[in-house]
Each structure stands twice: as C-alpha cells, then as structure tokens.
Structure 1
Amino acid sequence: MLESTYYPDYSTAPIQHQFNPYSDNGGSVVAIAGDDFVIIGADTRLSAGFSIYTREQNKLFQLSNTTVLGCSGCWCDTLTLTRILKSRMQMYQQEHNKTMSTVACAQMLSTMLYYKRFFPYYISNVLVGLDNEGKGCVYSYDPVGHCEKTTYRAGGSAGALLQPLLDNQIGQKNMENVKPTAVTQERALNVIKDVFISAAERDIYTGDSILINIITKEGIKEERFELRKD
C-alpha cells in the first residue's frame, strides 16, 4: 500500500502585509538662548538612507517676528504640522487682532502633538523665541507633546552627539572651579557653528550647510554657514 504525501495548501495561509508610514529624512537642530536673544540653527541636508534628496532644504519655519520653529525628521510630517500651525496662528491673529506670543505658541504646539499621540508626527521639534519679558527661551518636545523649557537644546539625527557638547560649553555641567557666566550672542553663534562642524564629521544625515536665525527685539536676522558636503 502506497503512503500518501500531504502537500499543504499555501493559498489559504495568512499573508502578512507591512506598511511603514514614516520615513526619517535626517537633519539636526540646535538652539541657544540668552538674556535678550535666541539663536537657532539647522542643517540643510534632506536625505533618506544613503540618498541625498537635496542639499538646500530650509528646516526653520518663521511663525512670527519673535518665534521660529526648527523641525527635523519625517519631512512630510513636518510640512503637515507647520501648515496646520501657521493656519491656527493666522486664525488667532484674525480673531484677537494680535500676534500669538511665543509662550502661547509653545503651548499650542504641545496640544497639537498630544492630539496626534496615537499616530504621532515623526519629528524632532525645537521652538524658540522671546518670551513676554523679552528674554530668549527654547522649548523642546517629544513626539507626543511633552514640552520642556530650557536655554539650550539639540535635536534630530545628531542630537545625542550635540547635546553633551552644549552641556559642557553652555551649561557647564559637572565642572569644578568654573563660575557660570551669561552667554553672549557672539559666543552662542560660535558654539552652534562648532557643534555642527563636529556633527558633520560623525553623522551622515547632517551636513552641507547651516541656516541660522538670530532673534532679537529688532527682529530676525538670517545667516548661513557652510559645512562639509561629503
């Protein structure tokens, strides 16, 4: 008697489909605040994996004369978030006949991110500006809207590399026989350039050049600083 061979019917087996809605397009953002100013810089490289889409992408979004938002990460999420944020600020302007303050804008951004907590924006956000007293302030966020107010912050693909440098040079953490001094605008600008030069050596998603916004009571001044392009 011949033994029968069993062949499973793979046509009825469950098929797993995978869908990844996120794409990390890299980039880094650094911000340093002083007594009457705040400086934010972001690199201009937009990439995915080992492919560079453009070397000239601005990742700083001016929300008002005293508020700037720096974004890095998924670029499509960045465009969606900033479009909605600007629309809400315009609605506030038309309803109250005044520009939304940096503090209020920071709270609104936190609420918007928390609203999307079940399908969060894949972005590293750093919002900077002048507060109601004219002092510089930096707000950093996690993907679900937790907000922290600081005087310096690094975020993005090279954030883990840049933050320790800021802790040492600006925060002067765990340093003995060092007297804390106020950060001047010139020093803050030089530190931002130095940390980006360091990041470009170690992070392939950060490079090409930096766009820098210097925010004071006179307005927003823009600068550009070239980095390595390989």
Structure 2
Amino acid sequence: MTDSGTFPSSRRALLLAVGSASVAALTAGCGRPAAAPPGGSTPGCVLAVEAGAGPNYSGPGATRSDVTDGREGVPLRLELTVVRASAGCRPLAGAAVDIWQADAGGVYSEGRQGPLRGVQVTDSAGRCVFRTIVPGWYAGLAPHIHFKVRPDARSETTSQFFLPEDFLREVYARPPYTRRKAPRSPNAHDDRYRAAAGTMTLAPVAEGGGYRAAYTVGIA
C-alpha cells in the first residue's frame, strides 16, 4: 500500500517537537529554541507542521504497549511524553496516543487489530511507551512511524516520526531487512521529511539487541 503523504488543509496544528529533552527543561524554555542536551538531540520548542494520517489509518488500534505481534525486525522502544503548550508545556495525563507503521518488509497491517498498530494512554507524567520495530521502507518514502495524540474526544494532532539515514543504513544491513535491496538514501526524496526540517526525527540509542528513542511531543 502507499501513503498519500498529504497535509490536511483544514488547519495547521501547533506541534512542539522537543526530541529527547526533559519535561523540566521544556517547561523552563517553552516557546523558544533550547540548547541540545549532552550527546546531541533535536532542539527544544521547534515548531513543525502537522502531517496527514495517510490511507493506512483505520481508526484506533488495540490498547497495548507491545505492537509487534511477533513480527520480525530490529526492536525499537519508543518512549513518548506529551505536554500541553497552552498550559506552560506541562505534562498531559490521560491523552490517547496511537501509533501505526509498516513492518520490516514495508507492508502495513490490515484492520484495527493487525500488528504494528496500537494505543496507549499517557500517565500522570504525560508518558507512554511502545515496543515496536524499526519500520521498513516502501513507495520511495522516508521510513516513518505515524502517531496521533487525542487529548479529548474533540481534538487530535497527527504527525509522524522519521529516523536518521545513517541509522537506517546500519539497521537495513541486518536481517530481516536484507531480504530486499535497501534504498541508498532512504530519506532524500521525501518532501515530508524535508518539510519537517529534522524536527520530527528520532535519535535512537542502542539498547540490548535493539534501540530506544525518547521524544516529547507538545500539542497546542
């Protein structure tokens, strides 16, 4: 299946992409660029444009942290923190967070209960965790993980995470991704990746046999 990659015309959501910066640092510096923490990460409080859900979103998936259903792939632990920009960038509890993505072969699951699709609700610190895999590539688009934040029944913010090209090349040299010939520059030809200006790109770090990526998402 392909992804339309279109942006909604009804509104442009305010999305504060703050990478792996801590909530405390975000609260202190919300509304202005923040210095990157030691080790490097996405700068804080950088505005980005909301991205479309694409044709593969079929509504909220099952409520679960592990979305893999045994699918092969390099493990990726995705640690998300949701904050409310209009409330001083404070953690947002009780927000539903959906993720959905392609598998290692670049294929999306069908139906709401399929693999690599799930929902978590943020705790009192605005946090939730997903256990997934590094997504494969398809249709010449930059590999990505879609997400949707639903703080209540009336509003939502939809976007997607990207991954660094050097990281993707390293992962795609491992099975099961080696069953296909990987693109030389996975992100280079995707307009959505360029439009995000790097602010929606995760910064994975090695953890066991896989990786971990932490990201704080601020909604208006």
**Would you say same fold, with TM above 0.5?**
no
Query: Higher helix proportion, which one?
Result: 1
Normalised by the size of structure 2, how large is the TM-score?
0.26
Normalised by the size of structure 1, how large is the TM-score?
0.26
